[in-house]
Amino acid sequence: MAIALDPPDAKCYALVPCAGNGSRAGTEGPKQYTVLAGRSVVAHTLAVLQDVPQLTATLVVLAPSDAAFEAAAPDFRGARAWVERCGGPTRAASVAGGLASLAARGARAHDWVLVHDAARCLLRAATVQRLIAACEGDDVGGLLALPLADTLKQAGVDSRVCATLDRGGKWLAQTPQMFRLGRLLEALTRSGAAVTDEAGALEALGHAPLLVPGEPDNFKLTWPADFVLAERLLRNPS
């Protein structure tokens, strides 16, 4: 799909897939509804996105059967707060459904969409603004990421090391990931459910997304220990 480079009227939207069940987190329900520092994980996430003035709106994509979101995020309301129960069985399906919903609400193919994990609740508004500034003039778009700092090991039989891998040039992908709506929808449609992030779908079409340095504390809550650390950081942000 041909997308005009840097149209002067391009808008930015955030899209938050929130239809997963967080099976690895060890929580009683979906991990995005776990309460940390007096608020649900997703409520912390959405509060940050609401503080980014460049975002025209934030769309949360829920599972069709979700009956918990409104109670978990009571402050997510107003003209810039959108919700759709169009989530699918995979992240890619939920994001594609959200992109179609944004288009139905008036977003255009050349508008930017910043896809962000609901479970990355330690994101900072200034970091989102830095991503937007880095990508808004780019033909492809990009993502927050961290250069790999630790030694990288390959596991073999019985969780024993079978190789040490070269960490040079390797980055850990984060979110938000920022791409044009039309191009991202095309990429997800062609790539199917196998892709694990939006940048991967763009890469499959031959594009090279821009790597924008992120922050170490913008980690995704996945394992039980992540929730303990996030609670401590949310209570003591300094």
On whether the CB atoms of residues 120 and 221 are closer than 8 A, the answer is yes
Residue 28 has pLDDT above 70, yes or no: no
- 144 has pLDDT over 50: yes
pLDDT at 194: 80
CB neighbourhood size of 78 (10 A): 9
The confidence score (pLDDT) of residue 193 equals 77
Question: What is the predicted pLDDT for the residue at 131?
Answer: 98
Fold annotation for 12-141+174-235:
Spore Coat Polysaccharide Biosynthesis Protein SpsA; Chain A (3.90.550)
Which neighbouring-strand residues pair with 145? 173, 213
pLDDT tens string 154-193: 999 999 999 999 999 999 999 999 999 999 999 999 987 7
Using the structure block, give the residue that is written with the tokens 């892709």: 195
The Cα 176–Cα 144 span in angstroms is 6
Instruction: Evaluate if residue 3 carries a pLDDT over 80.
Output: no
Q: What is the mean pLDDT of the chain?
A: 93
Q: Where are the domains of the chain?
A: 12-141+174-235
* pLDDT for position 183: 97
Percent of the chain with pLDDT over 70: 93
Which whole-number Å values give the CA distances from 83 to 77, 89, 101, 205, in the listed order?
9, 18, 10, 29
Residues 33/118, Cβ–Cβ less than 8 Å: no
Q: What is the pLDDT of residue 21?
A: 67
Tallying the residues shown for the chain, one arrives at 238
Q: What are the tokens at 219?
A: 């980690």
Listed residue (62, 174, 64, 172) closest to 114, CA to CA = 174
Q: Which two tokens stand for residue 154?
A: 């390959």
- Model pLDDT, residue 2: 47
- pLDDT at residue 192, rounded to an integer: 79
Average pLDDT over residues 65-79: 97
pTM: 0.93
3-state helix/strand/coil string of the chain: CCCCCCCCCCCEEEEEECCCCCCCCCCCCCHHHCEECCEEHHHHHHHHHHCCCCEEEEEEECCCCCCCHHHHCCCCCCCCEEEECCCCCCHHHHHHHHHHHHHHCCCCCCCEEEECCCCCCCCCHHHHHHHHHHHCCCCCEEEEEEECCCCEEEECHHHCEEEEECCCCCEEEEEEEEEEHHHHHHHHHHHHHHCCCHHHHHHHCCCCCEEEECCCCCCCCCCHHHHHHHHHHHHCCC
